[in-house]
Structure 1
Amino acid sequence: IIELGGHGLLLSDGASGGWIGLTLFRYALEVLDGMSPSSPLIKCLLTELGCDNSSSLTELALNAKPAYFASFAPVVFNMQDDPVAQTILAQAAKFITRYIEHLAQLGYQSITLMGGTAKTITPWLSSKAQGYLCDAQYSPEQGAIQLAKMHL
């Protein structure tokens, strides 16, 4: 058993629900600042939040917890035909693929994705990357116990 990533939104949670939601907010800020074109996904987010300028969106997001951002990940997956959603999900898949390729180079042939987006992001991975994936043999809690035993 080896654990990689998952060190929190600010450090290494690329592809987590929190990261997907935070990235959506970042794109929305670029739209509000006139730096990027809008999309139906961005319009949906801004309407839902009642924001029409970058100051109001920043005020909402600045002290938000990862779970707040993660609450917007399902919208990104539900609107996956949107160009912004496609960009975000492709970036998330690329992040995961790097980890899968690294683990494969280390000799691991069975890799389990953990977290709230694990099942929904899988179709975005290449068939080669998906070929390494398997269901977890243990619950997250049991896996943590196994890791702890290995380090005793």
Structure 2
Amino acid sequence: MPSSSDINNTYFLGIDGGGSKCKAIIVDADNKVLGEGISGPANPLHGFEQAVNSITESAHIALKASGLNLQLSDLTAGVGLAGVNLPALFEQMSNWQHPFGKMFLATDLLIACLAAHNGDDGAVMITGTGSCGFSYVDGHPYTIGGHGFPHGDKGSGAWFGFQAANYVLMSLDGLKAPSMINEKLLTLLDVQDGLQMVEAIAGKPAAFYAKLANLVFDAAEEGDFAAKAIVEEGACYISGVARQLEKQNPPRISLIGGLTPRIKPWLDEDIKHKLAEPICAPEMGSVIFAQQQLTLL
């Protein structure tokens, strides 16, 4: 088993890899960030070669930024990735002939939770392009949702954007009352009618719809009835996820993700009062995970 001095002499690489980008950090034994790097998508579900290339590229960028006279093989890597909750992808990534000294692989959910609570037990609700609830208590992971767009991810940016598009199309067909969402969405897409709108949105991925989420919140905050109904439904779902996570008795619970500042005011009051600010960013959670695993060897 490595001693504390072994860890103290180690530089760590933390990786947070998702469907849109991969972020890497290099830290010293005191977890001081020495360099950062960002590259392309790193979810192996969307391509193994793309994922490993993004991981390696972001690591090289971070190492260069650190100014350290080291190679990737000198680093102990914690790698948190979307997609590796699927056993086949976890095995594939585990068998990767990586360039690091050591590599410890985890899901993006676990590293986000470890980061939010600085390595201690806790729970997180993630509200970004997608949505998910996750807790880690006494070594037991527990997941709610995270089923993907469009069949899941309620309360996510993609879900809000999709609901907006659906509402506008129905209103243009005369089946719903026109809303402030209509003008905002048609202007954003630079279209005039339903046919043009369908051409603009057909076949678009979750990330496209997530970019429409802010206009729903803007309209809701301006008092629009349709937007408020959509936001309240999504926020109710996230509040429900929080209550389900509470059954796992996490010491802390945090809300994380790009949509956090928009959706937080709409959560149920009892849930808002229980939320704790996340302590670290997800990539630091990968470092924490690697440090924890290193002590177990």
Q: Would you say same fold, with TM above 0.5?
A: yes
What does residue 142 of structure 1 align with?
A: 284
Q: Which protein shows a greater Rg?
A: 2
1:123–1:9 Cα change, 3 Å: same
Structure-to-structure mapping, 1:1-150, within 5 angstroms: 1=113, 3=134, 4=143, 5-80=145-220, 81-144=223-286
Query: Which ranges of structure 2 fall in alignment gaps of 5 or more residues?
Result: 1-112, 114-122, 124-133, 135-142
Q: Which amino acid aligns with 2:177?
A: P
Shift of 1:58: 1.7
Shift of 1:51: 3.1
After TM superposition, the score normalised by the length of structure 2 is 0.46
2-side partners of 1:145 and 1:86: how far apart? 40
Residues 18 and 68, structure 1, Cα contact 8 Å, conserved in 2: yes
Residues 168 and 181, structure 2, Cα contact 8 Å, conserved in 1: no
Q: Which amino acid aligns with 1:120?
A: R
Residues 100 and 132, structure 1, Cα contact 8 Å, conserved in 2: no
Taking CA–CA contacts closer than 8 Å with sequence separation of 6 or more, which of the two structures ends up with the larger relative contact order?
1
Shift of 1:123: 0.6
Q: Secondary structure of 1:112's partner?
A: strand
Q: Which amino acid aligns with 2:208?
A: Y
After TM superposition, the score normalised by the length of structure 1 is 0.84
Identity %: 30
Q: Which amino acid aligns with 1:33?
A: D
Q: Secondary structure of 1:37's partner?
A: coil
1:147–1:17 Cα change, 3 Å: farther
Residues 160 and 234, structure 2, Cα contact 8 Å, conserved in 1: yes
Number of residue pairs matched by the alignment: 151
More strand by share: 2
Residues 15 and 117, structure 1, Cα contact 8 Å, conserved in 2: no
